[in-house]
Amino acid sequence: MKFIDEALISVKAGDGGRGCVSFRREKYVPKGGPDGGNGGAGGSLIFITEERLSSLLDFRYRREYEAERGEHGMGSLCSGSDGLDLVIKLPVGTVVKDADTGEVIADLAAPGIEFVCCKGGRGGKGNAHFATSTHQTPRFAQPGEAGESKKLKLELKLLADVGIVGFPNAGKSTLISSVSAARPKVADYPFTTLVPHLGVVKYGEHDTFVMADIPGLIEGAHEGKGLGVKFLKHIERTRIFIHLLDLSPMTGRNPIDDFVAVNRELEAFNPALAKRPQVVALNKADITEARDVIPELLKYFSVLGIKVFVISAATGQGLKDLVNHVGAEVMKTKMA
């Protein structure tokens, strides 16, 4: 399924039905009086989160949604029926924003949430409602109220406990495929991963956590370079980062420079991300030439007080210790 994490839509609740102006007209009842019924209320537009959904793909093909309007009132004191509510299902983790102002209207971060986005208009009162002892023949009725309407931007933020961050081709896809059932595309060129992937990782005897493979960041991502900020929003909900550094000398890059650059991009996107707990995984340690730089890196991160794991996502080296440590840290954050 194609992964879509943003959509622009127009939504409108149903209008209320208008009240009726009517008078009773029957044989032998010369002055029957007003009998105009009330209009029905318009249907509301309701969002509900559904765990089985994983993308906003449906909203790429349909962008306008309107609930049913209320029926108009009729004679003989017959009220119009209310319009049916329109229920729209959204993936868990969807943020609903005003498309014009960017204001967050609702953050639907749990399954089964119901949110009334647009309220249906009230039905108008018929002329029978306005009859009094001093005004026995009202010849007017209320129009129905218009239903609320909005232009919305939907943003899907994946719900994951752990986010893997790092430069393109650092081995993030290989790592998540090695520790979970996720099967993202793996290749030896940058930006292989074009969409985020989720995987459920088992650790200990019965415990699990959800890991997200975020497409590669590069310096200047917050300004739109590379894949830009398109997928950075998916790590805002994560509890801890695995910062994956590529030890391979073939990249021509310095792992410490990569570490600093990626953290700078995270902070530029959202300052709160700079304070998020993270562990460092030195990947591709199975390459002989890569082992020469490990002592220097261990010393550097020891000074920073950051936990480091020397791993090879391809061979499985060090993955068990990494997963168990991250799982324990996730559990601590949930209990905090």
pLDDT of amino acid 322: 94
Q: What is the pTM of this model?
A: 0.73
Q: Which option is the CATH number for 6-156: 3.40.50.2300, 3.30.70.270, 3.40.50.300, 2.70.210.12?
A: 2.70.210.12
DSSP 183-194: -----SSTT---
- Position 1 scores a pLDDT of 42
- Position 231 scores a pLDDT of 65
Interior CA angle at 83 toward 77 and 85, to 5°?
A: 150
Domain boundaries, the chain: 6-156, 162-335
- Written as tens digits, the pLDDT of the chain (336 aa) is 456 778 999 999 999 999 999 999 888 877 788 999 999 999 999 999 998 887 888 898 899 999 999 999 999 999 999 999 999 999 998 999 999 999 999 999 899 999 999 999 999 999 999 999 889 899 999 999 999 999 999 988 877 889 888 887 778 888 888 888 766 544 443 434 456 777 888 887 778 888 888 775 655 544 444 444 566 777 788 889 999 998 988 878 899 998 998 888 888 888 888 888 999 999 998 888 888 889 999 999 999 999 999 999 889 999 999 999 999 998 888 776
The whole-number pLDDT of residue 23 equals: 93
Give how far Cα 188 sits from Cα of 168, 169, 209, 216, 249, Å. 10, 7, 28, 13, 14
pLDDT of residue 19: 97
pLDDT score, position 227: 44
Among residues 85, 77, 11, the alpha carbon closest in space to that of 42 is found at 85
Predicted pLDDT of residue 72: 97
Q: Are 123 and 73 in contact (CB under 8 A)?
A: yes
pLDDT given at position 138 = 94
Query: What's the pLDDT score for residue 15?
Result: 97
Instruction: Tell me the CA end-to-end span of the chain in Å, nearest whole number.
Output: 36
Tokens coding 176 = 């998540």
Separation CA 235–CA 92 (nearest Å)? 15
The CATH superfamily of 162-335 is: P-loop containing nucleotide triphosphate hydrolases (3.40.50.300)
Instruction: Identify residue 328 by its one-letter amino acid code.
Output: A
Q: How far is CA 127 from the centre of its chain?
A: 47
Question: Could you give the dihedral angle defined by the CA atoms of residues 159, 164, 165 and 167, in that order, rounded to the nearest 10 degrees?
Answer: -130
Residue 330 CB contacts under 8 Å (≥ 6 apart), including other chains: 161, 162, 209, 239, 240
Res 250: pLDDT: 81
